[in-house]
Amino acid sequence: MSALRSEREQLQASIEDLTQRGGRIKLNSCGNSGDKKRLCVLVDPVAGRFGNAQGGEIYMIAKGY
């Protein structure tokens, strides 16, 4: 129960941070019909890619920012 409370507090802090930054992130479930659905976010491809592609860490700007 304590771990769940801690996770809830962390999630609430993330929500408050996004709200303060004007968060308008659009989330969805993505995947092919046979694949497990995963959380995905709508991005702005024109804004570019960031991070280390060779290391598998690619970041993109969420649409609406």
CB 42 within 8 A of CB 62: yes
Residues 5, 11, 15, 20, CA torsion sign: positive
Look at residue 18 and give its three-state secondary structure. Answer: helix
Q: Which domain, by its residues, includes 45?
A: 24-65
Residue 43 lies in a domain: yes
Q: What are the mean pLDDT values of the chain's consecutive 10-residue runs (65 residues total)?
A: 94 88 82 80 93 91 82
Residue 42 lies in a domain: yes
- What pLDDT is recorded for position 19? 81
- What pLDDT is recorded for position 44? 93
CB 51 within 8 A of CB 58: yes
| Number of domains into which the chain is organized | 1
Question: Can you give the pTM of this predicted structure?
Answer: 0.54
